Homo-oligomer: A and B are copies of this chain.
Amino acid sequence: MLLGKVIGTVVASQKDPKLEGLSFQVLQILDIQAQPTKTYVVAVDAVGAGVGEVVMYASGSSARQTTVTHNRPCDAVIMAIVDSWAVGGDTIYNKAEEG
């Protein structure tokens, strides 16, 4: 899995029928120091994440293993909202301390 920050949404009315009801969120992928990179992914939200939150997402066939995404043409899913992220003994992200 990688970690990303929810920075936006994608709206698509004309789509495969299996995608009805899903929410597509734009994630800015974070680097090993929790800093934003220039890369993104659009992921289906399985946990009710909101803009500004740091989340964990799974890619590939594993993205279809949540109840929300089962058997759907979806290759990325937000499967957790991150509370905290520690590297080398330091907390580099803590949701409770964010504005």
Q: Mark A residues whose CB is within 8 Å of B.
A: 1-3, 7-19, 24, 26, 28, 31-32, 38-43, 46-48, 56, 58-67, 69, 71-77, 79-88, 92
Contact = CB atoms under 8 A, between A and B. Distances in A.
Stoichiometry, copies per complex: 5
Contact of A14 (B9, B74, B80): B80
Contacts of A87: 7-8, 26
Contacts of A11: 82-86
A48 B14 CA distance: 9
Contacts of A85: 8-11, 26
B61 A60 contact: yes
A33 B74 CA distance: 22
